[in-house]
Amino acid sequence: MIDVVATAAIGPLGEGDAFVVGAPNAPAPTCITLDPRLTAAGLRRPFAARSSVAEAAREAGEDPATTLLLAVVRQVSAQLSPGERVGLAIGTSSGGMATSERFFRARATGEAIDPALADAATYHAPFRALLAMLSAEGIEPVRTTHLLTACSASTLALGLGVMWLEQDLCDVVLAGGYDALTTFVAAGFEALGATTSRLPPRPFRVDRDGMALGEGAGVMVLRRVFPGRVARIVGFGASCDAVHLTAPDRTGGGLSRAALQALAENAPVDLVSVHGTSTVFNDPMESKALTLALPGKSPPVHAAKASIGHTLGAAGVLESILVIDALRRGLLPATPGEGALDPEVGAHPCTENAPADVRGALKLSAAFGGANAALHFVRADFAGPRTARALVTPRRLAEAVPTTYELEALSASTGLARDRLARMDGLCHRALAAVGALAAVVGREALVGAGIVVGTVLATLDLNALYEAGLAARGAAFAEGRRFAYTTPNACAGECAMAFQLTGPAMTVSRGLDARLEAREVAADFLATRRAQRVVVVSVDAPGPCAELVLEKTGWPVDFQARAELWGI
């Protein structure tokens, strides 16, 4: 049981204490509007929920994602002491993509690119800016992780914070996530058919047709015991669907495994904060997952994305902050949307903020690559048992280095069709080759059910440049959905999971040049706390014009040889 000491939020609802579910007996707040930036870009469904902090950063020529991250941490950084062991777990979907786009355009037009721009074009640049800010304040974290696990990233970050405290690796943890909305991302979601044609989004309703995107940042301060806590986390779980890169496991099986791992015995669940994307497939999937995880129960659900938009890497933490607000104030929060509820979906949202005795809540998150995460929150006065988790020592069982990345050999080692492999990017090819080489050493059956953690320095830099070039050539309304799916660095973890049935925790991490060590550390956290029995650790980067330009300008020593290891308990 881990105490939530404080929360900080920046998002469409406001900042800090203004980020709440609303007043009792009132309808849900709605922040999504017709967005002038997305309209100007030519999108057919240009709805979004913006943050005033990010908008001010854009007007000032700053990277909006970095600004959001630094600003939200400043809200609570005074609670961190240089004398304590501080942990920092932060998640994102697209990092500083606005700056990456500037890098892509400068390279495409032949403009001079200085080392600072090349450095800032990477996914981990905002995280390193945060480390620099904390260092200037005398804070040097002893554990750090930067998760690139798309829309479940900040929920996983909170879970990592829980595991660090369970292992007594830290005294205090700052965990959360951030993302700023770009046309790059909005065009991709529209191309995938995931965005709504009219407002508001209508989760769990018959005529739902998708979501709108948002932006923001949020963090929580976590400790083992704290008398001034605002809530408690009594459970955390993670899993992978291993079914599809962008669509959920329609049976709900993948998400239910994460939920079941998170649910704490004898702790109440009076509310479920769902992923709630209002898409045709997601809502029934979540309903099935809840039936599997909570048989015979049907607590009300809250789909916060219908109010604040899908804030991507910040979604899990911002929606969890709303959960804590509901627990503290005794409210079942309302979800926007009108029309008949879908009879195929058993989950039911409230239409008004209803006063109630809300003692505990389950938070669910899902992401591209099939990465699921769940957290079980309870009210601050919950006096359940605080027993120490039995820890074990992980060990490396095997390792492998691929000898080729050719498609024919890759098809043979993975069992995937050559035409499917041809749709993927170089990062996926290299990760698959590494896991295929590992399977040849230990046997494919030894990998089934394992988790996967991918560590990468440069991530999908070159694939992102190709996708951005397509937007520039054809317009945002004609984005390539299939290519967009592979711009998420978590795609390689998802493809490996599908090929080798890795249904344990799945994620991609990148805090900087030591991504291989970072991936090992995260895998060890899941193993040491018994949330996984085996984890595949992959270290991978792919060469390409943009990657090589970044290395030329920065002088970073990045190794393009992929590696895979199997760790277990």
Residue 67 has pLDDT above 90, yes or no: yes
Beta strands in 316-387 (DSSP E): 331-332, 354-355, 360-365, 371-379
**232 pLDDT band (50/70/90 cuts)?**
very high
Residue 517 placed within a domain: yes
In the prediction, which pLDDT does 345 show? 76
DSSP reduced 3-state for 297: coil
pLDDT band per the 50, 70, 90 thresholds, residue 266: confident
pLDDT at 257: 96
Q: Is residue 418 part of a domain?
A: yes
Among the listed residues 200, 170, 217, the one whose alpha carbon sits nearest the alpha carbon of residue 65: 217
Beta bridge partners of 219: 8, 176
* Arithmetic mean of pLDDT over the chain: 95
The answer to whether residue 503 is domain-embedded is: yes
Count of the separate structural domains present in the chain: 1
**Over the stretch 392-448, which tens digit does the pLDDT of each residue have?**
999 999 999 999 999 999 999 999 999 999 999 999 999 999 999 999 999 999 999
Q: How high is the pLDDT of residue 47?
A: 98
pLDDT at residue 533, as a whole number: 97
Burial of 70 (0-12, 13-18, 19+ CB in 10 A): buried
Q: What percent of the chain has pLDDT over 90?
A: 88
Kindly report the CATH number assigned to the domain that includes residue 464: 3.40.47.10
Residue range 244-257: mean pLDDT, rounded: 90
Check pLDDT > 90 for residue 568: yes
Phi, psi (5° rounding) for residue 269? -130, 95
Q: Is residue 516's pLDDT more than 80?
A: yes
Query: Dihedral through CA 380, CA 360, CA 22, CA 18, nearest 10?
Result: 40
Give the model confidence (pLDDT) of 131-190 as tens digits: 999 999 999 999 999 999 999 999 999 999 999 999 999 999 999 999 999 999 999 999
Q: Per residue in 337-389, pLDDT tens?
A: 888 888 877 778 999 999 999 999 999 999 999 999 999 999 999 887 777 78
Q: Tell me: the pLDDT tens digits for 105-134?
A: 999 999 999 999 999 999 999 999 999 999
What was the pLDDT predicted at 486? 96
Q: Is residue 549 assigned to a domain?
A: yes
Residue 317 has pLDDT above 80, yes or no: yes
Q: Domain residues for 554? A: 395-568
Beta strands in 274-353 (DSSP E): 301-302, 331-332
Q: How far is CA 226 from the centre of its chain?
A: 27
pLDDT of residue 338: 84
Range list of β-strands (E), 260-336: 271-273, 301-302, 331-332
Q: In this model, does residue 251 exceed pLDDT 80?
A: yes
pTM score of the predicted model: 0.96
Q: Are 310 and 192 in contact (CB under 8 A)?
A: no
The per-residue pLDDT for 427 is 96
For residue 405, tell me if it sits in a domain.
Answer: yes
Q: For residue 347, what pLDDT is reported?
A: 72
Residue 282 in any domain: the answer is no
CA separation for the pair 65, 215 (Å, rounded): 9
> Does residue 545 fall inside a structural domain?
yes
CA angle 423–424–427, rounded 5-degree value: 165
Q: Do the domain assignments include residue 54?
A: no
Structure confidence at residue 444 (pLDDT):
96
Q: pLDDT by residue (tens digit) across 521-532?
A: 999 999 999 999
